[in-house]
């Protein structure tokens, strides 16, 4: 077995990096969508949602950087252009969304997509004995499950 610089099986690390690049693409589209919601929100809940969307896109920006750095740590290169992101992301670019309810619904769909990917990455990282990726995904899932509950409660679910 050929290992990479951090002692992981090279083939398993490459597979993890490939899946992390898909997650990176999804986070990048999710981030830009959330910026759009923040910029374009209108209506009665403007002040509340404007702030919440800013909190969310700032958090997504941190995750984008962490995922890209994890890809580099595994010995691969993070994708960095939106043309590539649009090809592999399951989260699609949103149209201008000024309605808060529609934006929150889109955010919940996006959380569903990234949480599912992160759970898949947990399985792959456990198989590769990659505690670094495993811990990152566990932290993300725990925090995002709480956000799903909170955004869902906003919608009365």
Instruction: Encode pLDDT of 58-85 as tens digits.
Output: 999 999 999 999 999 999 999 999 999 9
Q: How far apart are CA 153 and CA 157, in angstroms?
A: 5
**Residue 151, by phi and psi: left (phi above 0), alpha (psi -120 to 50) or beta?**
alpha
Cβ atoms of 36 and 94 within 8 Å: the answer is yes
Q: How many residues does the chain have?
A: 157
Q: What is the rounded distance in angstroms from the CA atom of residue 70 to the CA atom of residue 149?
A: 28
Contact criterion met (CB below 8 Å) for 17 and 76: yes
Alpha helices in the chain (DSSP H): 10-40, 46-73, 82-88, 100-127, 131-154
Cβ neighbours for 143, distance < 8 A, ≥ 6 positions apart: none
* Confidence band of 142 (pLDDT split at 50, 70, 90): very high
pLDDT value of residue 54: 98
- From residue 130, alpha-carbon distances to 3, 35, 134 in Å are 12, 32, 6
Name all domains of the chain by residue range, CATH numbers in brackets.
10-154 (1.20.1260.10)
pLDDT tens track for 81-138: 999 999 999 999 998 889 999 999 999 999 999 999 999 999 999 999 999 999 999 9
pLDDT tens for 25-58 read 999 999 999 999 999 999 999 999 999 999 999 9
Q: How far apart are CA 48 and CA 78, in angstroms?
A: 34
- Average pLDDT estimate for 133-149: 98
Could you give the CA distance from residue 25 to residue 20 in angstroms, rounded to a whole number? 9
């Amino acid at each position: 077995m050929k290992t990479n610089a951090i002692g992981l099986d090279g083939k398993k690390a490459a597979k993890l990096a490939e899946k992390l690049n898909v997650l990176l693409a999804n986070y990048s589209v999710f981030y830009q969508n959330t910026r759009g919601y923040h910029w374009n929100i209108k209506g009665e809940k403007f002040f509340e949602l404007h702030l919440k969307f800013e909190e969310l896109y700032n958090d997504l920006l941190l995750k984008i950087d962490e995922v890209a750095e994890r890809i580099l740590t595994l010995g691969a290169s993070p994708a960095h252009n939106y043309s590539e992101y649009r090809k592999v992301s399951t989260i699609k670019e949103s149209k201008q969304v000024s309605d808060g309810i529609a934006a929150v619904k889109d955010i919940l769909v996006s959380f569903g997509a990234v949480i599912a990917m992160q759970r898949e990455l947990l399985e792959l990282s456990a198989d590769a004995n990659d505690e670094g990726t495993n811990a990152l995904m566990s932290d993300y899932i725990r925090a995002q499950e709480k956000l799903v509950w909170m955004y869902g409660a906003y919608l009365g679910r």
